[in-house]
Amino acid sequence: MVDITAAHWWQPSDPDKPLPGILLKDDEHGWVLQLDGTFQESVVPDATTDGEPIVVEFGLPDTFPILVGITSHGLLISLVDCQVLEASFPFAGSRGSLKVWPTLLIYDVHFESADDFRLASLSIRYSNLDTWVATSGFSVQFGPNLYPAEVKYSIPESIEGMLSDGLIIGVKFSASGPSVPAVTNVHIVQQSWLTVTSTQDLLYKDLFRHINNLANFVSLGVGEPLIPLEMTAMCTALDRSGAEHSVRVRLVSNRQPIVASSRDVPHWDMLFTLPDIRFSDLVTAWFLRDEALQSLCDLYFGTLRSPSMYVEHRFINMFQALESYDRRTFKPTPEKIRKHQEQLDRILNAVGVSDQRWLKQSLRHSHEPAAADRIRRLANKLDAGWLLSNEDITLAGSLRNYYTHFDPEVDQRLPLKKDRYRTMHNLAVRLRVLCELVLLDAIGFPKDEARNRMQKTRRVERHLVT
């Protein structure tokens, strides 16, 4: 357990009422702040003449938008969105106590309010990012017998693209070291960061949303969810004289990531890496992709981040992602709409008025294709017969129907129960890859190139169960 003792903590709106407290880390919540006091005055009830007890009502907030503090070493800290976990009320000389759980910790700066928590840039380092970036600042020349070896290093230039709202998003590099003096060893570590920069300070949540979107793009190439490892930002702060200046600060997210771990992926197993693509063009296309893709992205990336999800859920999520996308994008031809309406009118005109009302309600979705037909249409559009055969799609449709609207007859068309979960897993893998083909197509990857990359990296075979 790591403790950081703070000399005092206070609410920015009331700096004259500081409280002593300790910021410490526990296994359940991460960082918690234990305060000796509640920011409220102690209450001593007045005596009564009739001997009846006096009821004193207390009320403590459920959250504090921001608390700020200075550690015993003079370090500035701001705690954002602090939820109250435990509290004891001030009474008869006691100041009470609070135990609060901040959502975000920001080191080296104070903010006056939650609305004042604005940043000029945000940078996050992720798992698997260094391998995906595949960019080195090292230059090494070896002698005839390995030595002498000449090593040079310079930090690579940033790789950036501009979004339609004027934000600059990209990859930046940092390096730690070398140690000085370099006597018997030299240690330099290069790291890659996803970064978003604005010309004006923006709310943290707005910048984080853009970086998370870029991380999803990288995750598509990696084939695994990205886990945030470290976070820094640039913001505007006031010095002791009241003048504004830019400050680099360190941020710590105090919520456990959805994905606790992710496997390390070698670059040859990645669908694409940074050197494989035109970063500015593809990232711009990624951020401008059609709104119809949103539900597919939500289900695809949500499932990717949940590796322990039951196979039934993974299968249904991937099927639903594709089905919802087709529903938003498929438009039948006017001729097909006309023929369907004519057929519907003939059926309705052949029955009485009361039956017409019942039929209209029953047939209100008769123009909708079957779920399996939607998957089949997407597979045909993307030339993905190599991925999903007609038999695969028919079976996937039956499995989907079995879970969404159970019918004993459907159960008879499915594999035996001892083989069903393996079948469902393998179909979920193929449906996941079809989702990836949809996403690649949406940002401009040619179909042949997307197929070749899938097959070269064995995107399907590596996840199938025999």
Is 122 found in the same domain as 78?
no
Q: How many CB atoms lie within 10 A of CB 457?
A: 19
Q: Is residue 14 helix, strand or coil?
A: strand
How is residue 325 written in tokens? 């996308």
Residue 121 near residue 234 (C-beta atoms within 8 A): yes
How is residue 441 written in tokens? 């197509």
Q: What is the pLDDT of residue 59?
A: 65
The residue among 376, 386, 221, 223 whose CA lies nearest residue 303 is 223
Is 132 found in the same domain as 62?
no
Is 318 found in the same domain as 277?
no
- Domain boundary among the residues 107, 138, 153 is at 107
Is 448 found in the same domain as 324?
yes
Residue 388 near residue 456 (C-beta atoms within 8 A): no
pLDDT tens track of the chain, all 466 residues?
A: 455 666 789 999 888 889 999 999 888 899 999 999 888 765 555 555 566 655 555 567 889 999 999 888 888 899 999 999 998 877 666 778 899 999 999 998 998 888 889 999 999 999 999 999 999 999 999 999 899 999 999 999 999 999 988 999 999 999 998 878 878 888 899 999 999 999 999 999 999 999 999 999 999 999 999 999 999 999 987 655 566 778 899 999 998 877 767 789 999 999 999 999 999 999 999 999 888 899 999 999 999 988 788 999 999 999 999 999 999 988 776 777 677 677 777 777 777 777 777 777 776 665 678 899 999 999 999 999 999 999 999 999 999 988 888 777 778 888 888 899 999 999 999 999 999 999 999 999 999 999 999 999 999 999 999 8
Distance CA 462, CA 78 (A): 45
Q: What is the pLDDT of residue 352?
A: 75
What stretch of H or E contains 346?
A: helix 334-349
Q: What b-and-e string marks burial along 252-280, b requiring 16 or more CB atoms within 10 Å of the CB?
A: eebeeeebeebeebebebbbbbbebbebe
How is residue 53 written in tokens? 């007890």
Distance CA 140, CA 138 (A): 6
Is 82 found in the same domain as 187?
no
Residue 48 near residue 57 (C-beta atoms within 8 A): no
Q: Are strands 244-253 and 14-26 parallel, antiparallel or unpaired?
A: unpaired
Q: What is the pLDDT of residue 416?
A: 86
First to last CA, the chain: 45
Q: What is the pLDDT of residue 185?
A: 85
Q: What is the pLDDT of residue 241?
A: 59
- Domain boundary among the residues 256, 286, 316 is at 286
Is 133 found in the same domain as 163?
yes
Q: Please state, in angstroms and as integers, the Cα–Cα distance from residue 309 to each residue in 312, 313, 315, following that order.
A: 8, 6, 10
Residue 244 near residue 236 (C-beta atoms within 8 A): yes
Q: What is the pLDDT of residue 43?
A: 55
Angle at 309 between CA 431 and CA 380, to 5 degrees: 5
What stretch of H or E contains 152?
A: strand 146-153
Q: Say if 350 falls within a structural domain.
A: no
Q: Where are the beta strands (DSSP E) in 72-188?
A: 76-88, 97-107, 118-126, 138-143, 146-153, 159-162, 168-176
Q: What is the pLDDT of residue 325?
A: 95
DSSP per position, 57-70: -----SEEEEEEEE
337 φ/ψ angles, rounded to the nearest 5 degrees: -65, -40
What stretch of H or E contains 235?
A: strand 228-238
Q: Say if 178 falls within a structural domain.
A: yes
Q: What b-and-e string marks burial along 192-216, b requiring 16 or more CB atoms within 10 Å of the CB?
A: bbbbbbbeeebebeebbebbbbbbb
Q: Say if 342 falls within a structural domain.
A: no
Is 278 found in the same domain as 146?
yes
**Residue type, position 73, single letter:** H
Q: Say if 356 falls within a structural domain.
A: no
Q: Is residue 95 helix, strand or coil?
A: coil
91 φ/ψ angles, rounded to the nearest 5 degrees: -160, 130
Is 212 found in the same domain as 85?
no
How is residue 462 written in tokens? 């590596």
Is 430 found in the same domain as 322?
yes
Q: Say if 341 falls within a structural domain.
A: no
Q: Say if 364 falls within a structural domain.
A: no
Is 145 found in the same domain as 97?
no
Distance CA 297, CA 320 (A): 11
- Domain boundary among the residues 77, 107, 137 is at 107
Distance CA 132, CA 279 (A): 12
CB within 8 Å of 367: residues ≥ 6 apart: 332, 337, 340
Q: What is the pLDDT of residue 240?
A: 57
Q: What is the pLDDT of residue 40?
A: 74
Q: What is the pLDDT of residue 106?
A: 94
Is 19 found in the same domain as 70?
yes
Is 297 found in the same domain as 235?
no
> What number of CA atoms fall less than 13 Å from residue 455's CA on the CB side?
9
Q: Say if 38 falls within a structural domain.
A: yes
Residue 435 near residue 300 (C-beta atoms within 8 A): yes
Q: Is residue 120 helix, strand or coil?
A: strand
Count: domains in the chain: 3
Q: What is the pLDDT of residue 313?
A: 94
**Residues spanned by the domain of 68:** 3-107
Residue 229 near residue 261 (C-beta atoms within 8 A): no
Q: Say if 302 falls within a structural domain.
A: yes
